[in-house]
Amino acid sequence: MTHSFAVHVPDVALDPEPLESGQILSGDPEVSGKVILESGDGRRVRGIWQITPGVVTDVEADEVFVVLSGSATIAVEGGPTFDVGPGDLAVLRAGDRTTWTVHETLRKVYAIDL
């Protein structure tokens, strides 16, 4: 079990998380992230994620996130399209097929339940 802790999210160094070429629709976006906490069974993951400008597709997990910096428009196939920016909280559902149009490098803190 991990002790309670705090991190200053803007200062956390992130590791590259390369996209598959089929996910990139436009631009040259780069993704990076850092898992901050993971349950022993791997079903609960908490971390920080960042993406540079471009357009990408993804298939989501059950996730809630808060945007710290940057902005994007997220279109859910067969569902809503919404804009996110600093201070916004968003919820994505497992299996959602999304298209992310990232306008400014976006950094978020997330909680995923698998």
Q: What is the pLDDT along the chain (114 residues), one digit of tens a residue?
A: 568 999 999 999 999 999 999 999 999 999 999 999 999 999 999 999 999 999 999 999 999 999 999 999 999 999 999 999 999 999 999 999 999 999 999 999 999 999
Q: Structure tokens of 35?
A: 């898992």
Phi-psi region of 95 (alpha: psi -120 to 50; beta: other; left: phi over 0): left
| Domain covering 14-113 in this structure, CATH number | 2.60.120.10
Exposure string (b/e) for 1-40, b if CB count within 10 Å is 16 or more? eeeeeeeeeeeeeeeeeebeeebeeeeebebbbeebeeee
> pTM for the full model?
0.94
